[in-house]
């Protein structure tokens, strides 16, 4: 019986464009039986499975700043962008297909922010699964789906090689476009940036609710908005301490308030989830890991599509003989 090949495509922002060149070159010499992907890797994996790799390549190699900015539908809470325009574009790239319509096995990874667990999509609309997998915390708002709050799968499994055997793969190859820590250094930089700007309304409330009853420093008062100060003044006049205490929620109430998931809270939970899973070495579950070296392409260089694809072709050509040998000797 002929061995089946499964390929896992990692996230990595713009670096994930390299997957296009790799898959296109592999497919000319090797049959790909199963794919798994996270974040930008999910976009390329789904496009390949839908037969729209030409369309995706045309788009990323001719992307203009105007088109890129079009994705930016401001959210003002939980993230910079809603992601609705992005999801519509994903529907175009996937031809509106569902997993059930595909001729190749595909799995897309996301993460549930509520419990920090991995969510693997193998059924349903492709654009929904990819939108969830690409929801970088702080950038896109989390996707509400079946009681879950889904964000970028990179925080739990950025290169999902471990899923491929479940899809029937005998030989498992992982493509690490993030160079392992790239995505998370980006996430940490985003967290620090958002921490600074989240001291607006949402940030003031976050700080205020955790100061504790009795601490009425001038610094705290300066952060209260006009309505909050007026409310506090009225309560003091009435000398009704029990009502004043309502401004300072109990621990149980604070926990409930946290479920509102401000940008800061989303980023904090995302980082905690990542750090709790970072020690799990899934690379041992792969037969081969390909880690491209990017000289001058960062995770945000979305206008270097041609260079990334060409780099992918070069790496693929180098590894084709080895993969053929692995399949033959299985």
Catalytic residue list? 39, 152
Take residue 85 and report the two structure tokens written for it: 């325009």
Distance CA(280)–CA(247), nearest Å, equals 42
Nearest to 45 by CA among 119, 109, 92: 109
In sign, the C-alpha dihedral spanning 14, 19, 22, 23 is negative
Cβ distance 267 to 258 under 8 Å?
no
- Beta pairing, strands 105-112 & 148-152: antiparallel
Cα distance from N-terminal residue to C-terminal residue, the chain: 10
Q: Is 215 left (phi over 0), alpha (psi -120 to 50) or beta?
A: beta
Cβ distance 108 to 47 under 8 Å?
no
Nearest to 31 by CA among 330, 327, 329: 327
Take residue 113 and report the two structure tokens written for it: 């922010």
Distance CA(103)–CA(95), nearest Å, equals 14
Distance CA(134)–CA(77), nearest Å, equals 17
């Amino acid at each position: 019986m002929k061995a089946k090949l499964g390929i896992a495509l990692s996230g990595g922002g713009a670096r994930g464009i390299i997957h296009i060149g790799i898959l296109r070159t592999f497919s000319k010499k090797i049959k790909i039986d199963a794919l798994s992907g996270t974040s930008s890797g999910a976009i390329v994996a789904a496009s390949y499975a839908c037969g729209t790799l030409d369309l995706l390549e045309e788009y990323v190699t001719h992307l203009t700043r105007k088109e890129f900015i079009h994705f930016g539908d401001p959210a003002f809470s939980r993230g910079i962008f809603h992601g609705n325009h992005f999801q519509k574009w994903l529907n175009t790239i996937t031809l509106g297909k569902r997993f059930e319509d595909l001729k190749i096995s595909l799995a897309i990874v996301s993460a549930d922010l509520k419990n920090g667990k991995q969510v693997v999509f193998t059924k349903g609309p492709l654009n929904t699964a990819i939108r969830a997998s690409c929801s970088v915390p702080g950038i896109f708002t989390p996707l509400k789906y079946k009681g879950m709050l889904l964000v970028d799968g990179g925080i739990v499994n950025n290169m999902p090689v471990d899923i491929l055997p479940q899809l029937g793969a005998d030989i498992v190859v992982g493509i690490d476009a993030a160079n392992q820590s790239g995505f998370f250094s980006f996430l940490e930089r985003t967290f620090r940036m958002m921490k600074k700007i989240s001291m607006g309304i949402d940030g003031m409330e976050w700080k205020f609710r955790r100061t504790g009853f009795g601490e009425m420093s001038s610094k705290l008062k300066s952060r209260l908005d006009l309505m909050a100060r007026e409310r506090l003044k009225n309560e003091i006049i009435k000398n009704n301490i029990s009502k004043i205490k309502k401004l300072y929620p109990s621990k149980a109430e604070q926990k409930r308030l946290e479920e509102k998931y401000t940008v800061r809270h989303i980023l904090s939970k995302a980082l905690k989830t990542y750090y709790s899973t970072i020690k799990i070495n899934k690379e041992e579950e792969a037969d081969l890991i390909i880690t491209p070296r990017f000289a001058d392409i960062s995770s945000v260089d979305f206008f270097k599509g041609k260079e990334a694809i060409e780099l992918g072709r070069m790496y693929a050509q180098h590894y084709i003989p080895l993969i053929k040998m692995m399949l033959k000797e299985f």
